[in-house]
Amino acid sequence: MKLNKEYIVDNLKTIFYALIIAMIIRSLFFQPFYIPSSSMEPTLLVGDRLFVTKYSYGYSKHSFPFSPNFSKNRFFFKEPKRGDVVVFKTPTDNRTDFIKRLIGLPGDVIQFINGDLFINNNQVIKTKIIKPKKLIYCGNNTVETIFYEEKLPNGVKYLAVYRKEGSYQNSDKYIVPPNHYFFLGDNRDCSKDSRFLSSVGYVNKQNLVGRAQVIFFSSDIRKGRIFELWNWNKIIRFDRFFSRIKYQ
């Protein structure tokens, strides 16, 4: 049977338009991301898949696929809030996506003193949380941790975990430059973040990609592969489906 030329052209047009629409949605509205590391446990787990809103902080070249270098400006910029869970491009290569919690705004002074987080010389309030299970992943290993609820100056609360032994204690003062932000992972002793100036450091507002909003799917890749239907009760984290990232 010969394929009608008009039929082929119509199908190619449909595919083309579908790709254009998908690119517009991905660039301007929502983009899915996969969590590959344990740096944001317990908030985000390895294997979580979430939607990030691209319009939350306006748009830059990093809002679009392959970060085309069409402008050095950010359009319709909206200031991110302290405590937001943010996807950004790492300053070292302007290509790799990281996701961390926003702790320091431009001009802030961030420091760790005896294991406590200070913002502008004020200690962040943290309350110890009693959890029956205190093991948290760090890479492929598990470590015993202490759970805390931290409360930022603007009232945002979240869970942060620190190693029970050998936790990060003291740092120099980090002074956040203008138009830059300071990020930390909630898994404080297993996170490469703004404390590491040579690899992440302060993040320019141009590098912000979007704000994490909702987990739409989650699977524990350590317990098996997704096509192992007989293990879905162990692999799929059904309780995390469509759970929102909380910003209290």
Cα(152)–Cα(185) distance, rounded to whole angstroms? 14
Please compute Rg for the chain using Cα positions. Answer: 21
**């902080």: which residue's tokens?**
57
Which is it for the CA torsion 180, 184, 185, 191, positive or negative? Answer: positive
Which of 37, 38, 39, 191 is labelled catalytic? 39
Clarify whether 39 is annotated catalytic: yes
CA angle 135, 137, 142 (to 5 degrees): 60
| Closest by CA position to 182, among listed 159, 156, 208, 157 | 208
Assess whether 100 carries a catalytic annotation.
yes
Query: Which pair of structure tokens corresponds to residue 237?
Result: 């984290």
Set 61, 89, 100, 205: catalytic member: 100
Inter-CA distances, 1 with 4, 8, 167, Å: 9, 14, 70
Task: Please list the active-site residues.
Answer: 39, 100
